[in-house]
Protein backbone atom coordinates (compact mmCIF):
# COMPACT_ATOMS: atom_id res chain seq x y z
CA UNK A 1 0.00 0.00 0.00
CA UNK A 2 1.51 3.30 -1.04
CA UNK A 3 1.74 6.41 1.08
CA UNK A 4 -1.17 8.13 -0.67
CA UNK A 5 -3.39 5.06 -0.39
CA UNK A 6 -2.74 4.90 3.34
CA UNK A 7 -3.22 8.64 3.72
CA UNK A 8 -6.52 8.78 1.85
CA UNK A 9 -7.88 5.38 2.89
CA UNK A 10 -11.34 5.43 4.38
CA UNK A 11 -11.21 4.87 8.09
CA UNK A 12 -13.89 2.56 9.35
CA UNK A 13 -15.17 3.05 12.88
CA UNK A 14 -13.71 0.69 15.43
CA UNK A 15 -16.18 -1.84 16.70
CA UNK A 16 -16.60 -1.89 20.44
CA UNK A 17 -17.39 -5.56 20.53
CA UNK A 18 -20.72 -7.32 20.44
CA UNK A 19 -23.85 -5.37 21.34
CA UNK A 20 -25.58 -6.70 24.48
CA UNK A 21 -29.00 -8.32 24.06
CA UNK A 22 -32.20 -6.44 24.92
CA UNK A 23 -32.86 -8.59 27.99
CA UNK A 24 -29.71 -8.89 30.10
CA UNK A 25 -29.13 -11.88 32.41
CA UNK A 26 -29.00 -11.57 36.19
CA UNK A 27 -25.62 -11.19 37.91
CA UNK A 28 -25.17 -14.90 38.74
CA UNK A 29 -26.53 -16.32 35.46
CA UNK A 30 -24.24 -17.50 32.69
CA UNK A 31 -23.04 -14.72 30.41
CA UNK A 32 -24.90 -14.07 27.15
CA UNK A 33 -21.68 -14.31 25.10
CA UNK A 34 -21.38 -18.07 25.67
CA UNK A 35 -18.04 -17.96 27.49
CA UNK A 36 -19.30 -20.17 30.34
CA UNK A 37 -18.47 -17.52 32.96
CA UNK A 38 -20.95 -15.81 35.23
CA UNK A 39 -22.29 -12.55 33.84
CA UNK A 40 -20.81 -10.51 36.72
CA UNK A 41 -17.30 -11.75 35.89
CA UNK A 42 -17.58 -11.47 32.11
CA UNK A 43 -19.67 -8.66 30.56
CA UNK A 44 -21.45 -6.83 33.40
CA UNK A 45 -19.10 -3.82 33.51
CA UNK A 46 -18.79 -3.60 29.72
CA UNK A 47 -22.56 -3.69 29.29
CA UNK A 48 -23.05 -1.00 31.94
CA UNK A 49 -20.55 1.27 30.17
CA UNK A 50 -22.17 0.58 26.78
CA UNK A 51 -25.66 1.37 28.09
CA UNK A 52 -24.46 4.54 29.84
CA UNK A 53 -22.87 5.79 26.61
CA UNK A 54 -26.02 4.94 24.68
CA UNK A 55 -28.17 6.87 27.20
CA UNK A 56 -25.84 9.90 26.93
CA UNK A 57 -25.99 9.78 23.14
CA UNK A 58 -29.80 9.51 23.16
CA UNK A 59 -30.09 12.38 25.64
CA UNK A 60 -27.77 14.57 23.56
CA UNK A 61 -29.89 13.84 20.47
CA UNK A 62 -33.07 14.78 22.35
CA UNK A 63 -31.55 18.04 23.55
CA UNK A 64 -30.31 18.89 20.05
CA UNK A 65 -33.79 18.45 18.61
CA UNK A 66 -35.72 20.29 21.32
CA UNK A 67 -36.86 23.86 20.76
CA UNK A 68 -35.09 26.63 22.61
CA UNK A 69 -37.18 29.35 24.18
CA UNK A 70 -36.02 32.36 26.02
Distance CA 57, CA 39 (A): 25
pLDDT tens for 38-61 read 999 999 999 999 999 889 988 888
Model pLDDT, residue 3: 63
Structural domain of 59: 25-64
Rounded distance between C-alpha atoms, residue 26 and residue 13, angstroms: 31
- Has residue 12 got a pLDDT over 90? no
Count of the separate structural domains present in the chain = 1
Is position 41 within any domain? Answer: yes
**Span 13-36, mean pLDDT?**
84
Considering the domain boundaries, does residue 18 fall inside one? no
Q: What is the pLDDT of residue 38?
A: 96
Does pLDDT of 14 surpass 50?
no
Residue 20 within a domain: no
Amino acid sequence: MSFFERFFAKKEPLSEGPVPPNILPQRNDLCWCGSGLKYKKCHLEKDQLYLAQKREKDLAAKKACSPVFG
